[in-house]
Structure 1
Amino acid sequence: MDLEHARQVAAQAAQAAGLLLRDGVKGSPGARPKGEKGDVVTDLDLASEKLILERLLTAFPTHSVIAEESGLLGSAGAEWTWLVDPLDGTNNVAIGLPAYVIGLALCHEGRPVLGVVHEPVPGHTWSAVRGRGACGPSGVRLAPPYRPWRHGPVVAWTQGHGVSRAEAHPLKMRLDLGVRRMLQLWAPLLSWAMLARGDIDGFVGYCAEAVDLPAGALLAQEAGMEIRALDGGPFPEGFEGPPQDRSFVAGPPEAIPSLLALVGSA
């Protein structure tokens, strides 16, 4: 498998979908309820996903795909599986907030080996191949220097759509008291990109969604970030397993002990 070729195909698909989204948000996104947890889906999600699926399945007809809206296409447990989030930040788009991205990951036997995150508004693409590092626009290597906190860390937060407000609220509220600023962007892939760039100091997730997690986590890891389970143990790779396995603390290796201490006290 030529992962550099796969990176190029994925990046081009995400960028083409990004142009579609950027034009589409100028009008009505056609938002409607999705599920019973307050989530929404728009016509833009569906159009972006259709474009991406056509490109991936044309280039890699033997691969399976798990897409946010379409579910599984191909055989479950295939050797190579793509994960597609065609519009991460749908709730933001629905209220006119231009904070959204597109995320694609390629997994080999369940293990992420390629991640692509594209932000349509500035037109920036970040990508990573396992063991080969992460890069941003124009191929610039992502390796932000560690910056010690002066007045507490800036930390992003995400939680899965299946998590009730009452379940996550105590942890989030107490964690908020120990940080300088808590970001809840409702676009976790954007938070992963910010962490990989060094724009924020840490990222905490509680039962995060499976489809968008691998692309962002791999991007951050290849940029030099470390990811741990909430109890400080190893963070399981991949998208399989129960939601609890997708709870994490991420940040620069030098900051992980302090971030875990904040979570532990919360």
Structure 2
Amino acid sequence: MSNYREELNTAKKAAAEASKIINEYAEESSFDVVLKGKNDLVTDADLASEKKIIEILKGAFPNDQILAEESTHITELPDKRIWIIDPIDGTTNFAHNFPAYCVSIALWEEKEPKVALVLEVAHQELFTAVKGEGAFLNGKPIKISETKDPSSSLIGTGFPYRDLHLVDNYLKLFKRMMDKTHGVRRPGTAAWDLCNVACGRFEGFYEYGLSAWDVAAGSLIIKEAGGVVSDWKGGDNWLFGKRIIAGNKPVHDFLKNEISECFEEKYLVH
């Protein structure tokens, strides 16, 4: 049995309770929306669900550290255990009553992901992974797509919404993706995008401007499903590096090459 069974079960409990809170706000359609920055929203539901998640995790593991989108910010990982939380990934979707939006919870220890959970609330899709034990959707094993040809691949991405100074480069890349793949999708929640790679709906995913809580869980789920995760240069600086590529190996490498054609070297790293 996994050494992290208690941690995964606690994360499931926290996500379920957060989901109840989020759905209550969604059903009532009465919540305050605050603009944290350009196109960067937070709602009462974000704050209430994050509070509940932290309460459950700290109740079970009082010595663990917390990195959560709405309350704690750090720029590098400690050596100790740390839970990385996004109470609602896809807040703009949620604020407009547009699915999908997710609860994302990950446990990192010794600077490596050990436990990951992404719950897509609107459709109750529960993605989970424990390092070395595979990836699952609602308890059933999942694997990445075996489609190797980019021209037969569906790609996920997210459009930059805070930092727009590279938007022309991004649109150039987007045009290349339209020409060289089956298509590009932009659901509006990176955590779910990564899970869509893990279960084979997307062959690949790329984005810049993301934060640690957007990718901390989905990345492990992809790796446990047999996929590859890197920064835009092919390295490991994707958690805080704000640039990520994920997919099966051939499509990941295709995306890396296409990105390098559209962005100067200095923009491939944060």
Structure 1 gap ranges (5+): none
Task: Give TM-score scaled by structure 2 length.
Answer: 0.86
Counterparts of residues 247-258 of structure 1 (less than 5 Å): 247-258=243-254
Partner of residue 197 from structure 2, selected from 164, 177, 195: 195
Aligned to 1:182: 184
Aligned to 2:26: 25
Q: Which runs of 4+ in 1 moved over 6 A?
A: none
User: Is contact 2:100–2:121 with CA below 8 Å preserved after alignment?
Assistant: no
**Cα distance in 1 for residues equivalent to 2:150 and 2:186:** 22
User: Is contact 1:158–1:208 with CA below 8 Å preserved after alignment?
Assistant: no
Aligned to 1:37: 38
**Cα distance in 2 for residues equivalent to 1:56 and 1:132:** 22
Counterparts of residues 61-140 of structure 1 (less than 5 Å): 61-71=62-72, 77=78, 79-137=80-138, 139-140=139-140
CA apart distance, 1:18? 1.1
User: Is contact 1:159–1:209 with CA below 8 Å preserved after alignment?
Assistant: no
SS across alignment from 1:93: helix
**Cα distance in 2 for residues equivalent to 1:150 and 1:261:** 12
Counterpart of 1:156, as a letter, is G
Counterparts of residues 208-227 of structure 1 (less than 5 Å): 208-227=210-229
User: Is contact 2:68–2:213 with CA below 8 Å preserved after alignment?
Assistant: yes
**Cα distance in 2 for residues equivalent to 1:198 and 1:29:** 36
Aligned to 2:163: 164
Counterpart of 1:258, as a letter, is F
Aligned to 2:146: 146
Distance 1:150 1:164, change over 3 A: closer
CA apart distance, 1:235? 2.2
User: Is contact 2:11–2:117 with CA below 8 Å preserved after alignment?
Assistant: yes
Distance 1:62 1:159, change over 3 A: farther
CA apart distance, 1:190? 0.9
CA apart distance, 1:153? 3.0
Task: Give TM-score scaled by structure 1 length.
Answer: 0.87
User: Is contact 2:104–2:119 with CA below 8 Å preserved after alignment?
Assistant: yes
CA apart distance, 1:121? 1.8
SS across alignment from 1:235: coil
**Cα distance in 1 for residues equivalent to 2:213 and 2:160:** 11
CA RMSD of aligned residues (A): 2.3
**CA offsets, 1:137-164, max 9 Å, x none?**
1x21111341244745322223676x42
CA apart distance, 1:188? 0.5
User: Is contact 2:144–2:203 with CA below 8 Å preserved after alignment?
Assistant: no
Counterpart of 1:157, as a letter, is T
**CA offsets, 1:110-130, max 9 Å, x none?**
322111101122222111111
Between 25-34 and 190-199, report the one with greater CA deviation.
25-34
**CA offsets, 1:184-214, max 9 Å, x none?**
2221101011111110121102132112211
SS across alignment from 1:146: coil
Distance 1:72 1:235, change over 3 A: closer
User: Is contact 2:118–2:191 with CA below 8 Å preserved after alignment?
Assistant: yes
CA apart distance, 1:57? 0.5
Aligned to 1:155: 155
User: Is contact 1:159–1:207 with CA below 8 Å preserved after alignment?
Assistant: no
User: Is contact 1:195–1:203 with CA below 8 Å preserved after alignment?
Assistant: yes
Structure 2 gap ranges (5+): 263-270
CA apart distance, 1:71? 1.2
Counterpart of 1:221, as a letter, is K
SS across alignment from 1:211: helix
Q: How many correspondences in the alignment? A: 255
